[in-house]
Structure 1
């Protein structure tokens, strides 16, 4: 089913008596694809002619459902043996966000995900991260390992010098306490970059 037909069906719940095809096409033209429509901010959605609060609410419900379904594939499972599911979840949750978001996946001794926490939101090209807070939270959760994740709204997952420096600061702080940093993933629009696979960790 093409994106516009699926979007029409979603919009029908918000506009039960209206012709949803023109609005579906306007939304797709504005944002590019269904993922970007659902990830758009409520204010930007409302800027599209015909999209009011009911449309925003319906799209945000569908976005939350998509995130929950993807998250169910990784929660309470050994992350390192469910890597493709993890990447799918992170792509769903972060690839189309308009601002940078930094998350930490906290793992137990068996590398089972015990917490997925957003540590900060920033601007289109920067998010403040505090290594001490990341490690402090790991101790509170009794985590044995970490995976750092952030997105690049530009779509290019190449790490900046600041990304590399921050990763090493967290790795060093965690190492002192016996906590392992497995990886740092940067999520782009269509792909992701792994510090470990690039030899940066």
Structure 2
């Protein structure tokens, strides 16, 4: 076989795109311009100018640096509902969403932990019961996607200011024990005058039950 035959065989094995379909080597991915525009909008108008999926996109930019994050953000919201519920979802469920790898799922949980701590700081030292929605949002972020039922207590002083937030018991998927003696004992230790009793429903994600009682 001649050298020219070898060259023809070598070239025949390669698929060659038409010239008009080849991307220039220096052409940037289409999503980079979108990312820049989104950052500019956030910088100019703040988070209120962005819907949930775009704010989630901004978070995902650094977690998933080499991909279009818009479909990932929309898939997460379609699966879990709201931005708070995305951050509250278990790491294992986050990884089930296409485009979310182990590193991105872990980073989302780190962001969730920071957000939860911020909410807790926002409640501490304030009149929490002036806004039940604020309390509910706080509890939902903390425990809505827990896989086991929890019995949680918010201890308040006479001005309804949060003294402590404690998980007293963790049970199974549909049951957790409650010991009134322990609740009262802890309330007395903290000098609490009111308590908010909270438990979640793992069989119904995002379902939280609140009860308010005076600790006399």
**Pair in the same fold by TM > 0.5:** yes
* Structure 1 equivalent of residue 32 of structure 2: none
The number of residues matched between the two structures is: 164
Answering whether residue 201 of structure 2 is matched by residue 152 of structure 1, we say yes
Larger radius of gyration: 2
In 2, the alpha carbon distance for the partners of 1:193 and 1:108 equals 18
* Structure 2 equivalent of residue 46 of structure 1: 95
Pick the structure with more helix per residue: 2
Structure 1: 4+ residue segments shifted above 4 A: 192-196
SS at match of 2:108: helix
User: How high is the TM-score relative to the length of structure 2?
Assistant: 0.62
Task: Kindly indicate whether structure 1 or structure 2 has the higher relative contact order, using CA contacts under 8 Å at least 6 residues apart.
Answer: 1
Quick check: 2:87–2:141 contact (8 Å CA) kept in 1?
Answer: no
Quick check: 1:40–1:98 contact (8 Å CA) kept in 2?
Answer: no
Quick check: 1:100–1:152 contact (8 Å CA) kept in 2?
Answer: yes
Answer with 14-23 or 91-100: which moved more. Answer: 91-100
Answering whether residue 163 of structure 2 is matched by residue 114 of structure 1, we say yes
CA RMSD, aligned part only?
Answer: 2.9
Structure 1 runs not aligned, ≥5 long: 157-186, 197-201
| Cα distance, 1:28 vs structure 2 | 3.0
User: How high is the TM-score relative to the length of structure 1?
Assistant: 0.65
In 2, the alpha carbon distance for the partners of 1:83 and 1:73 equals 14
Select 1:124's aligned residue among 173, 195, 210. Answer: 173
Structure 2 runs not aligned, ≥5 long: 1-49
* Structure 1 equivalent of residue 207 of structure 2: 188
